Amino acid sequence: MAVLCRPAVQFPDHEITLADTVGSARRLHPDHPRLATAVRLIENTGVRTRRLLQPLDETLRHPGVAARTELYWTAVRGYLPDVVQAALDQAELTRDRIDAVVFVSCTGFTMPSPIVWMINELGFSTRLHQLPVAQLGCAAGSSAISNAARYCRAFPDHNVLIVACELCSLCYQPTETDVGSLLAAGLFGDGFAAAVMRGAGGRGLRVGPSAAETIPHTADWISYEVRETGFHFRLDSRVRDTMRAVTPGMAKLVADAGWSTGDLDFVVAHAGGPRILDDLTTYLDIDPAHHRFSRAALAEHGNTASVLIFDALARLFDDDVAGSGARGLVAGFGPGVSADFSLGVFI
């Protein structure tokens, strides 16, 4: 058995509103020929507030890759202890009961990974299995859940800690002025999350079968270009039409379990934007109200990459729908273009 306990999430203190975002776009790019289009797209993301690691004026600067890497490290060391402890408390476990850590992040790079810092500074076992993941982007949260569940089913006396750290603001590039970059600057936020997958015992979401899907020849639709100034995010407008290609695999997973998509009690999907959720509603024939957890996470914190799925899950755990026997789907989408999805039942 693999049971995902309630996730813990944490966000930086610096809040910016939609008005702040639109105002900065107008101030920085007053003569941009497609400014009106960019502003319209930003306003249609559904994002109302976001939390950033630094104040907005500092976020809009680029102090260099080395300085940004140090900011990333400082944030990891500052925020991880509390969010990890909160996740352990939710699972009613201590550090010595954790056998593996899946650490996901696509917005900063260190070697060794922060898992080693957790062993050295937070008291985790030196025999910890380390599973750092850096290249799954927004899909990494759901992938971490399905892979941690497989690990626990293979080793039922083990427990896995999942940690997600995303500092999307450290990837902002002031010189990027195409519409996709302006949209990204108004969509992404920063955040931290942790959750425990228990191999035995515990209460929460029992994670069952999972599947994955990669759409051929879409590798450059969501991607990073690595340059002297760091990661340059690329987002192709064709991404908004990709749900048609991945939903048949999701429907098959549900059907293979003997379920019907129309009878699901919940759906938690990574909300890259509202179009993804609208298309899932249409192609899977599900109740649009199921997306309230994902939409709330997107509206309040923006797209926080791999963290968003845990933000939405935490909201689900706190809702009445998360009663014993409730059945649903957890799904994430990211570069590739790839999808990872799992079925779950609350126990």
List the catalytic residues. Answer: 138
Instruction: State the pairing for strand pair 190-198/159-167.
Output: antiparallel
- Joined together, the tokens standing for residue 212 give 């994955």
Partners of residue 203 on adjacent β-strands: none
Residue 164: phi and psi, rounded to 5, are -125, 125
Residues 6+ positions from 182 with CB-CB distance below 8 Å: 25, 29, 32, 38, 41, 42, 176
Q: Is 344 helix (H, G, I), strand (E, B) or coil?
A: strand
Do residues 111 and 94 lie in contact, with contact meaning Cβ atoms separated by under 8 Å?
no
- Joined together, the tokens standing for residue 229 give 């100034």
Do residues 129 and 101 lie in contact, with contact meaning Cβ atoms separated by under 8 Å?
yes
Partners of residue 339 on adjacent β-strands: 213, 333
Instruction: State the pairing for strand pair 159-167/100-104.
Output: parallel
Partners of residue 210 on adjacent β-strands: 342
Neighbours of 93 (CB within 10 A): 18
Q: Is 199 helix (H, G, I), strand (E, B) or coil?
A: coil
- Joined together, the tokens standing for residue 76 give 């990891």
Give the angle 275-278-281 at the CA atoms, nearest 5°: 150
Partners of residue 133 on adjacent β-strands: 104
Partners of residue 165 on adjacent β-strands: 192
Cα-Cα-Cα-Cα dihedral of 16, 21, 23, 25, to 10°? 150
Sign of the alpha-carbon dihedral angle for 34, 40, 46, 52? positive
